[in-house]
């Protein structure tokens, strides 16, 4: 009898297995990005926030579906697919502002980025991997509520087939609008995170940016609690408000309302759904030509992406 | 030394040993163990065997930060084995390592790694390891998770990355603690994780920047042992930068001394210490006569307390000492070679260096 044995050194060994190089490295950055944002492989505390925000993004849909199932067609006052992204936009923005810095800031602060840069990876590979990871999660977050809502709407309809026949267009619309909303939520917070090592600063900056710009646009253009008053000899009118201020009206209001960054992707959503907005800050801007809204959106997505790329292009120095 | 370990979850009769690299079991003759020296990875990696004889090469390598000169026209080559980059803080050691890794660009000159420019060799970096001077570790993940990730970023598929992470952490002595978060680790354990991430993908060459920084004497000794073992047993070439000469003596085959951004000296560590070997003589009586007899034979003699030091000893000196001691009929208590430490050598060099 002849026994052939093999010896395995249980400590360090040489490695002769497959090496997949740069493509595996890119995938690893993407997968690690997803795990980081969701808190997988980290302590329980890292999982709480993403879980809460995920719940926040689907709870409105669940609530609407429950109301629909009880009230049936009488519940037509509820927001539908066209309004859903606006309903959850605050949650999505919060998620973006809080989670995006998690992907970029610690790597630079702890200098783990240097360990990446000496591996088969370029700075662009790293940034693209992180970007895609975050985009995919935000998209999943955006879609999850919409899917629940769609299923609820179909099942609560008196004739589900008829509902689908009449409203099938909502599906490609929410899918398309979801991509654009998620893209916007991904780029702005990542750009903020690329320029500070402190997560809290990046998150505060993004939240502040959205609150302040929306507040400014609202304050300037809202005509609530205002009344029309004759102005000057040319017979034009102006809006005088109860607080003694004056609301910006007419063409100027349309342009001022563009200031509200939060509404930038929502206007695209409204264009896709052919929807009329209720948000005071967005109302005036909705009257502007579509191309202006599209350009504005492109500026707010391509701009931050370019900033992130420029920041990381020279990260080696 | 060899420890027999049976692999769990398997029924195969294979015997697992640590420290022995090959075994053949024969029913008639019983098990036969053969110790096989691992071949150099350069010899097994055909891609590099053909093209690379020199692992690292600097040619007039210069790096300026504004008006500060970090490295000035440094030219040297680093071959297989363990090489030390020695110099005081600010001598340009970290700069040199970062230039070779492509983390910074040279002001002028070139740094080549495995025959390629570090900026361009994206795939070449699959066989490079780097242990930085600073912490460079995420605090909120476990060592196991971090190493698995780093192995994948170096190009290993997930299943292999998992095995490699476990094996490498065991190698650096973090087997038990590998599921703890890195943030909870001591400085010594963090240094080990840093070393492990540099080794997890089985590199050809590892660059270690101040690997013993911040360690207590025990931790330092363990880290040096680990580096020496990794370099010698597995044939992984290493370049370590340090300001501690003891680190170099314990680990390195060759040393490059940097001073103020320039290469001050380079050569084999043994060359530095052996060529300058002294002989220490102690006699019980006739001390002055012995010294006179040694001087008469043309030897350079120094007194260090009770010890008579004969400088720059070579083979013929032993006979001369024997004759001198016999001539004055002195009782010889001790005759021993004394190898200089690098510290003593550089101390001497500094003391005797011309002013300015």
Q: CB under 8 Å to A63, separation ≥6 — which residues? A: none
pLDDT digits (tens, 9 = 90+) for A11-37: 678 888 899 989 999 999 999 999 999
Q: A26 to chain B: nearest residue by CA?
A: B153
Picking from B5, B31, B234, the nearest residue to A10 by CB comes out as B5
Q: What integer pLDDT is reported at residue B123 of this predicted model?
A: 78
pLDDT digits (tens, 9 = 90+) for B70-97: 999 999 999 999 999 998 888 899 999 9
Least confident interval from A213-222, B6-15, B250-259: B6-15
Residue A257 backbone dihedrals phi, psi, to 5 degrees: -70, -15
Residues of A in contact with B140 (CB under 8 A): 42-43, 46, 106
Name the pLDDT band for B43 (thresholds 50, 70, 90). very low
Pairwise CA distance, residues B229 & B250, whole Å: 11
CA A77 → CA A168, A269, B150, distances in Å? 20, 19, 52
Question: With the C-alpha atoms ordered B177, B183, B189, B194, is the resulting torsion angle positive or negative?
Answer: positive
pLDDT digits (tens, 9 = 90+) for A253-264: 677 777 788 888
Which candidate, A267, A254, A271, A290, places its Cα nearest to that of A86?
A: A267
Q: What integer pLDDT is reported at residue B126 of this predicted model?
A: 86
Average pLDDT over residues B139-143: 92
CA B244-B191-B198 angle, 5° bins: 100
Q: What integer pLDDT is reported at residue B275 of this predicted model?
A: 60
Average pLDDT over residues B28-45: 44
Q: What integer pLDDT is reported at residue A12 of this predicted model?
A: 79
Count the neighbouring beta carbons within 10 Å of the beta carbon of residue A170: 20
Q: CB under 8 Å to A203, separation ≥6 — which residues? A: A97, A98, A101, A189
Is the pLDDT score of A71 beyond 50? Answer: yes
Is B99:B64 a contact under the CB 8 Å cutoff?
no
Question: With the C-alpha atoms ordered B26, B31, B34, B38, is the resulting torsion angle positive or negative?
Answer: positive
Identify which of A70-74, A105-109, B339-343 has the greatest average pLDDT. Answer: A105-109
Name the pLDDT band for B209 (thresholds 50, 70, 90). very high
Residues of A in contact with B13 (CB under 8 A): 3, 5
Which candidate, B306, B324, B249, B271, places its Cα nearest to that of B84?
A: B249
Q: What integer pLDDT is reported at residue A290 of this predicted model?
A: 80
Q: What is the DSSP letter of B202?
A: -
- Our CA dihedral for B194, B198, B201, B206, rounded to 10 degrees, sits at -160
Is the pLDDT score of A209 beyond 80? Answer: yes
Picking from A14, A19, A115, the nearest residue to B155 by CB comes out as A19
**Structural domain boundaries of chain A?**
23-313
Model-level pTM greater than 0.80? no
Q: What integer pLDDT is reported at residue A238 of this predicted model?
A: 63
Q: What integer pLDDT is reported at residue B37 of this predicted model?
A: 42
Q: What integer pLDDT is reported at residue A116 of this predicted model?
A: 94
> Would you state the structure tokens that stand for residue B202, as one six-digit string?
């089985």
B47 at interface of A, judged by CB pairs closer than 8 A: no
Residue B18 burial (CB < 10 Å; 0-12/13-18/19+)? Answer: middle
Name the pLDDT band for A240 (thresholds 50, 70, 90). low
Is B152 in contact with A1 (Cβ distance < 8 A)? no
pLDDT digits (tens, 9 = 90+) for A36-51: 999 988 888 888 988 9
Structural domains present in chain B: 3-34 (no CATH), 47-270 (3.40.50.300), 278-338 (3.30.70)
pLDDT digits (tens, 9 = 90+) for B292-312: 999 998 888 888 888 998 876
Least confident interval from A241-245, B82-86, B93-97, B103-107: A241-245
pLDDT digits (tens, 9 = 90+) for A263-311: 888 888 888 888 766 665 556 666 677 888 888 889 989 999 999 999 9
Which candidate, A17, A110, A114, A26, places its Cα nearest to that of B201?
A: A17
Q: B106 to chain A: nearest residue by CA?
A: A317
Picking from A19, A20, A110, the nearest residue to B138 by CB comes out as A110
CA B175-B124-B163 angle, 5° bins: 25
Q: What integer pLDDT is reported at residue B115 of this predicted model?
A: 84
Is A237:A231 a contact under the CB 8 Å cutoff?
yes
Residues of B in contact with A316 (CB under 8 A): 102-105
Beta-bridge partner residues of B308: B281, B303
Q: What integer pLDDT is reported at residue A294 of this predicted model?
A: 87
Least confident interval from A282-286, B146-150, B161-165, B315-319: A282-286
Name the pLDDT band for A69 (thresholds 50, 70, 90). confident
Name the pLDDT band for A225 (thresholds 50, 70, 90). low
Q: What integer pLDDT is reported at residue A155 of this predicted model?
A: 86
Tell me what percent of the residues of chain B surpass a pLDDT of 70: 78
- ipTM entry: 0.83
Pairwise CA distance, residues A131 & B241, whole Å: 36
Q: Which of A26, A115, A316 to mutate to test the interface with B (most CBs of B within 10 A)?
A: A115
Residue A313 backbone dihedrals phi, psi, to 5 degrees: -60, -35
Is B156 in contact with A117 (Cβ distance < 8 A)? no
Higher pLDDT, A132 or B120: A132
Least confident interval from A29-38, A111-120, A170-179, A291-300: A291-300
């Amino acid at each position: 009898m002849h026994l052939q044995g093999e010896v395995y050194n249980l400590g360090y060994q040489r490695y002769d297995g497959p090496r997949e190089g740069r493509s595996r490295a890119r995938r690893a950055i993407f997968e690690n990005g997803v795990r980081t944002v969701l808190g997988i492989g980290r302590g329980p505390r890292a999982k709480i926030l993403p879980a809460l925000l995920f719940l926040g993004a689907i709870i409105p849909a669940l609530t609407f579906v429950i109301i629909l199932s009880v009230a049936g067609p009488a519940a037509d006052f509820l927001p539908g697919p066209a309004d859903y992204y606006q309903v959850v936009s605050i949650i999505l923005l919060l998620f973006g502002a809080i989670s995006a810095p998690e992907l970029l800031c610690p790597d630079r602060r702890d200098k783990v980025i240097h360990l990446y840069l000496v591996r088969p990876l370029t700075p662009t590979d790293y940034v693209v991997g992180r970007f895609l990871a975050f985009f995919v999660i935000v998209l999943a977050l955006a879609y999850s509520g919409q899917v629940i809502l769609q299923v609820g709407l179909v099942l609560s309809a008196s004739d589900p087939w008829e509902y689908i026949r009449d409203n099938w267009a909502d599906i490609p619309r929410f899918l398309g609008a979801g991509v654009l909303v998620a893209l916007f939520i991904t780029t702005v917070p990542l750009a903020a995170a690329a320029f500070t090592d402190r997560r809290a600063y990046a998150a505060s900056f993004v939240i502040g940016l959205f609150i302040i710009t929306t507040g400014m646009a609202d304050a300037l253009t809202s005509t609530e609690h205002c009344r029309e008053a004759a102005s000057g000899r040319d017979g034009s009118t102006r809006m005088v408000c109860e607080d003694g201020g004056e609301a910006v009206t007419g063409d100027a209001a349309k342009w001022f309302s563009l200031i509200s960054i939060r509404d930038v992707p929502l206007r695209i959503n409204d264009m896709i759904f052919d929807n009329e907005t209720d948000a005071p800050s967005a109302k005036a801007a909705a009257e502007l030509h579509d191309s202006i809204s599209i350009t504005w959106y492109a500026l707010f997505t391509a701009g931050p992406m370019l900033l992130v790329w420029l920041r990381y292009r020279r990260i080696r120095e | 030394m060899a420890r027999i370990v049976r692999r769990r979850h398997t029924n195969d009769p294979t015997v697992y040993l640590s420290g022995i690299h090959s075994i053949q079991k024969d029913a008639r003759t019983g098990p036969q163990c053969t110790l096989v020296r691992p071949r150099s990875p350069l010899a097994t990696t055909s891609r590099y065997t053909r093209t690379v004889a020199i692992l690292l090469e600097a040619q007039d390598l210069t790096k300026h930060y504004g008006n500060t000169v970090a490295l000035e026209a440094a030219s040297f080559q680093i071959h297989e084995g363990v090489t030390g980059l020695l110099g005081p803080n600010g001598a340009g050691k970290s700069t040199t390592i970062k230039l070779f890794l492509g983390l910074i660009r040279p002001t002028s000159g070139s740094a080549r790694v495995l025959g390629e420019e570090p900026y361009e060799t994206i795939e070449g970096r699959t066989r490079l390891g780097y242990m930085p001077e600073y912490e460079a570790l995420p605090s909120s993940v476990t060592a196991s998770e971090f190493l698995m990730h780093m192995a994948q970023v170096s190009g290993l598929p997930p299943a292999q990355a998992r095995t490699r992470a476990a094996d490498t952490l065991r190698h650096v002595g973090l087997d038990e603690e590998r599921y703890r978060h890195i943030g909870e680790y001591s400085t010594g354990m963090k240094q080990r994780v840093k070393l492990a991430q540099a080794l997890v993908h089985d590199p050809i060459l590892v660059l270690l920047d101040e690997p013993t920084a911040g360690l207590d004497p025990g931790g330092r000794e363990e880290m040096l042992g680990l580096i020496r073992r990794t370099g010698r047993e597995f044939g992984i070439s290493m370049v370590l930068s340090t300001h501690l000469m003891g680190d170099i003596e314990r680990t390195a085959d060759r040393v490059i001394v940097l001073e103020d951004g320039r290469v001050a000296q380079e050569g084999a560590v043994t060359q530095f210490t052996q060529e300058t070997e002294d002989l220490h003589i102690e006699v019980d009586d006739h001390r002055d006569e012995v010294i006179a007899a040694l001087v008469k034979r043309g030897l350079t003699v120094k007194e260090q307390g009770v010890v008579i030091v004969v400088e720059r000893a070579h083979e013929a000196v032993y006979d001369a000492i024997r004759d001198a001691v016999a001539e004055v009929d002195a009782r010889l208590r001790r005759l021993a070679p004394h190898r200089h430490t690098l510290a003593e050598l550089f101390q001497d060099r500094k003391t005797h260096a011309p002013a300015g």
